[in-house]
Amino acid sequence: MQNQIKTNLTMLTDFYEITMANGYFSNGFENKIVYFDMFFRRVPDDGGYAIMAGTQQVADYLKNLTFTQEDIEYLRGCRIFSEAFLKYLADFKFSCDVWAVPEGTPIFPGEPILTVRGPAIQAQFVETMILLSINHQSLIATKANRIVRAALGRPVMEFGSRRAQGPDGAILGARAAYIGGCCGTACTISDRDFGVPALGTMAHSWVQLFESEVEAFRAYAREYPGQCTLLVDTFNVLKSGVPNAIRVFQEELLPLGFRPAGIRIDSGDIAYLSRKARKMLDDAGFEDCKICASNSLDEYLIRDMLMQGACVDSFGVGERLITASSEPVFGGVYKLAAVEQPDGTIIPKIKISENVSKITTPCFKKLWRLYDKGSGKAIADVITMNDEQIDDAKPYEIFDPEHVWKRKILTNFRAVPLREKIFENGKCLMKTRSLKELQLYCMQQVDTLWDEVKRFEHPHQYYVDLSQRLWDEKNLLISRYSY
């Protein structure tokens, strides 16, 4: 048995994707053109918005979608697939079109954040990896963005590798956390592979291995005089940790012409300890020495600590970020929206449910964001038929698709299509953006949201509306298929 993670992830799929593909092939559907949408139904932690992430990994997967001989032999061994189907897979070439919301964009429930158009077998088969990649990274980017906002401009470091759900949870989680606003990660491989700055100093074991705390601090200061941050809570923060740190700063760093980078507190009442430590450092002439806090933090603890006057300059956040432990599921789904006839006619498809939230929105669609020209703030998102245009030179009426009497006529607004075409006939068109660019873009886009939408508790609902044509089409299908 091989234990390494394979770079070809074609077979990382739900088995029913393959059984359906075989059935589609047997029924002559392999070239039938379909449209699938990915969307999600609610924001984790009952927040006001989520952050799109993971699209790059989707693109990497689609570019390398190839069935190896090993894959074919495995499927042949299942004894339920026809040889003609296995030959089809052996000659498989991805040829779909894909549209997606750019990474770092705030997204909202019900929106088609990614659409795949192409042959039924192909568009169906890629469901698992699309959902896996975007669900995971959007979850972590969203959690990171909440935590970063709670820190009120103070740097937040992602420290959760050892508590992540497996290697990809750590590596790609660090990537997503950086898009969401973190300044760096403890995960070294994420720096090597993605350029997420690797950060870190020492563990308590470093202090324990030396004869005394002060000797441990001296050794570290001599080794890293230009970036000396000392962990001061191994024994007693105020009675030994901070006093010994000050002593080492004075005796080891100052004579060499260096200033201390900081101290880190990893336990105890950090609000209280940081205030006391700040006074001790200031009294010793180290007003520029930063205080970093860690220890099972999240957005609520950080917010409360700062409200209590904590003198903390940066935060290291681990398990509650990298696992999004308060709500560790991003419920994105992938549903059929339309089927295209040979003459180009698009036939809408819908899923009906007694659970209203599970009724899908049919048709090949376009997603718009409307901005107020005066404030620059986002007013609402509108989902239209793909061939519709929103002319922002004219008044435009929006309405709540669930409470249709709630209507508003917009003027002085700007309409922006949100999605980009990232694949055309199987060829990747996706623009390469650095993680820093994605992080800055995310920050800029979040700034376009009203503060009421960004509240942690009971945020204002941001409206995602349907155009009149799309709303009419959806209700026509609901009427047709409701018994």
15-32 pLDDT, tens digit per residue, is 999 999 999 999 999 899
Quick check: is 212 in a domain? yes
124-169 pLDDT, tens digit per residue, is 999 999 999 999 999 999 999 999 999 999 999 999 999 999 999 9
Quick check: is 384 in a domain? yes
Quick check: is 429 in a domain? yes
Quick check: is 8 in a domain? no
Nearest to 56 by CA among 404, 372, 420: 420
CA triple 147-326-166, angle to 5 deg: 90
Quick check: is 390 in a domain? yes
How far is Cα 402 from Cα 400, in angstroms, rounded to an integer?
A: 5
Quick check: is 67 in a domain? yes
How far is Cα 263 from Cα 238, in angstroms, rounded to an integer?
A: 12
194 in the same domain as 49: no
Residue 177 has pLDDT above 50, yes or no: yes
How far is Cα 445 from Cα 405, in angstroms, rounded to an integer?
A: 29
What's the pLDDT at 6?
47
Q: Which of 322, 343, 374 is the last residue of a domain?
A: 322
Nearest to 146 by CA among 54, 55, 46: 46
364-397 pLDDT, tens digit per residue, is 999 999 999 999 999 999 999 999 999 999 999 9
Largest Cα–Cα distance in the chain? 84
105-123 pLDDT, tens digit per residue, is 999 999 999 999 999 999 9
Residue 94 has pLDDT above 90, yes or no: yes
Residue 2 has pLDDT above 70, yes or no: no
Q: Which of 255, 287, 322 is the last residue of a domain?
A: 322
Compute the mean pLDDT over every residue in the chain, rounded to the nearest whole number: 96
How far is Cα 275 from Cα 291, in angstroms, rounded to an integer?
A: 10
410 in the same domain as 345: yes
Quick check: is 2 in a domain? no
424-450 pLDDT, tens digit per residue, is 999 999 988 999 999 999 999 999 999
What's the pLDDT at 476?
96
Domain ranges, residue 262 = 144-322
CB distance 421 to 430 below 8 Å: no
Virtual torsion, Cα 88, 94, 99, 102, nearest 10 deg: 130
Quick check: is 402 in a domain? yes
176 in the same domain as 116: no
359 in the same domain as 275: no
User: What average pLDDT does this structure show over 39-54?
Assistant: 98
What CATH number did the domain enclosing 311 receive?
A: 3.20.20.70
308-362 pLDDT, tens digit per residue, is 999 999 999 999 999 999 999 999 999 999 999 999 999 999 999 988 889 999 9
Please state, in angstroms and as integers, the Cα–Cα distance from residue 257 to each residue in 260, 298, 407, 431, 446, following that order: 10, 37, 66, 45, 41
pTM for this prediction: 0.96
Counting residues of the chain whose pLDDT is more than 90, the rounded percentage is 95
User: What average pLDDT does this structure show over 217-246?
Assistant: 98
Nearest to 185 by CA among 204, 169, 209: 169
190 in the same domain as 98: no
Q: Name the domain count of the chain.
A: 2
Per-residue pLDDT band at 8 (split at 50, 70, 90): confident
151 in the same domain as 133: no
**Which run of H or of E encompasses 21?**
helix 15-26
Per-residue pLDDT band at 4 (split at 50, 70, 90): very low
287 in the same domain as 152: yes
171 in the same domain as 129: no
How far is Cα 237 from Cα 232, in angstroms, rounded to an integer?
A: 5
Question: Letter for the amino acid at 316?
Answer: G
304 in the same domain as 239: yes
How far is Cα 33 from Cα 77, in angstroms, rounded to an integer?
A: 30
Residue 482 has pLDDT above 90, yes or no: no
How far is Cα 369 from Cα 231, in angstroms, rounded to an integer?
A: 46
CA triple 278-305-230, angle to 5 deg: 40
How far is Cα 118 from Cα 101, in angstroms, rounded to an integer?
A: 18
User: What average pLDDT does this structure show over 223-240?
Assistant: 98
Query: If you search the block for the tokens 């970036």, which residue do you land on?
Result: 227
469 in the same domain as 333: yes
What CATH number did the domain enclosing 122 receive?
A: 3.20.140.10
Q: Exposed, middle or buried: residue 344 (CB in 10 Å: 0-12, 13-18, 19+)?
A: exposed
Q: Which of 322, 350, 383 is the last residue of a domain?
A: 322
CB distance 222 to 249 below 8 Å: no
264 in the same domain as 203: yes
211 in the same domain as 114: no
Please state, in angstroms and as integers, the Cα–Cα distance from residue 434 to each residue in 99, 200, 296, 422, 439, following that order: 20, 23, 30, 16, 9
